[in-house]
Amino acid sequence: MTAIVWFRLDLRLDDNPALAAAAAYEDVVPIFIWSPEEEGTWAPGAASRWWLHQSLVSLDQHLKKLGISLIVRRGKALEELLEVVKETGAQAVFWNRRYEPAIIERDKTVKSALLELGLRVETFNGSLLYEPWEVSTTSGQPFQVFTPFWKACLKLRDTVTTVEAPKMLSNRHKLCSLSLKELNLEPTIDWTEGIRSSWTPGIDGAVARLRAFINKVASYALDRDRPDLDATSSLSPHLHFGEISVRRVFQAVTATDWPRKGSGQEVYLKELGWREFAYHLLYHFPYTIHRPLRQEFESFPWKQNAVLFKAWCRGKTGYPLVDAGMRQLWRTGWMHNRVRMIVASFLVKDLLIGWQEGAKWFWDTLVDADLASNTLGWQWTAGCGADAAPYFRIFNPILQGEKFDPEGKYVRRWVPELARLPNEFIHRPWEAPAEVLAAASVKLGHDYPYPIVDHFAARERALAALAEIGISARQR
């Protein structure tokens, strides 16, 4: 008896319910199908493709230790699965669910076709603590506010269970497989040095990250907003690609006891909750990947300005914390979450450039580019989504820098041309006296740009634009 396990964003052996189901069969055929065309607009971006290649290498290595090899195909998922069913005479196909709108529709078609052939077809929750349809308001509606959503989730916390990795697998079928190199996931011109030096994709890297984080999670509540400190878990890309399960992370954080209120563990669990909330919203409001949840924002007067957008992308806005974040993103494929909110606020509120443009840029450059979290984050900052930031929350990049990067270590690392400025001016170099700039070898407009907009004037423009669509303090 043969079962096919279709790997997607679940590139691990441990706590993989689809693999566990397949392991009950005599022969297990593990397959990965590269079909970006079926993901539509949101096919993996450049940074994600690089990570995917490394993660698939890791998965294949771990499968080989169990006795089988990953089969790699490219094309339409249904066609490739049908071909493998024909080649192996498989009786069952298993996979873990995904929740992106285009993938949901594709998977419905695949499942229906396989069932018509008389195959056993089962899908599982391999990505979340709770399915999007398992958590609802008392009236049976989806949540649109985080706090009551997370409270409802925690009532189900005793249902969080895991499955062990199989010890040994067999596949006696001889199948053709592409090499991973043939998928062309890695760039032809190698720009990945910074990403490679910052990350270890794959199962082993994910486990190492979790272990390292558990050793410092107690200080998470105090330090998580400091981009100058190594205080976050950095698990987001590993969770996105399913190299480690969110249930394992949840169990690791709560291993000794349920966290006390306000502890680092409790605050981190809320971050896992925000990830759950993002998928809850994506599933129930799939149009939000392109359009705002709040309909009044459909008429928001966004501006088109290629020059300002390019300055933002390249980290040349003249605001050091914004520029540090954008350069960290370009170099490492990742950005600290506090800084993500600041750079996003700068784009949509200081520059009045649409959140969709920022979401696309993040999608292409983040190694943890996740459709649910990316959509939630951008709509939250723009104020047009569920549990959105209040209309008046327009992050001041100067004050944010002084509060969360008080000694300028983060800015000095990623904007080295300002490294010699004293702390007093590191987040506002345009206010530094000429002699201070000269001593720091900074010539504004040459070594580092002047601010591309005045933040305080930009804030007033943003509030005026919100007033145009009828949003005022009385409504919030």
- Which active-site residues does the annotation give? 271, 274, 302, 337, 355, 378
Rounded to the nearest 10 degrees, what angle do helices 337-345 and 320-332 cross at?
A: 120
In the chain, count H helices and then E strands: 20, 5
- Measure the CA–CA gap between 140 and 425, rounded to whole angstroms: 53
- E strand or H helix that includes residue 365: helix 355-365
Spell out the residues 6+ positions from residue 304 whose beta carbon is closer than 8 angstroms to its own. Answer: 353
CA distance linking residue 392 with residue 124, whole number of Å:
42
CB 316 within 8 A of CB 414: no
Using DSSP bridges, classify how beta strands 27-34 and 71-74 pair: parallel, antiparallel or unpaired.
parallel
Neighbours of 20 (CB within 10 A): 20
Gyration radius from the chain CA atoms: 24
- Estimate the share of the chain in helix, then strand, then coil, as percent rounded to the nearest 5: 55, 5, 40
Distance CA 16, CA 19 (A): 5
Q: Of 214, 211, 212, 218, whose CA–CA distance to 260 is shortest?
A: 218
Tell me, rounded to whole angstroms, the distance of Cα 162 from its chain centroid.
23
Burial class (CB in 10 A: 0-12, 13-18, 19+), 53: middle
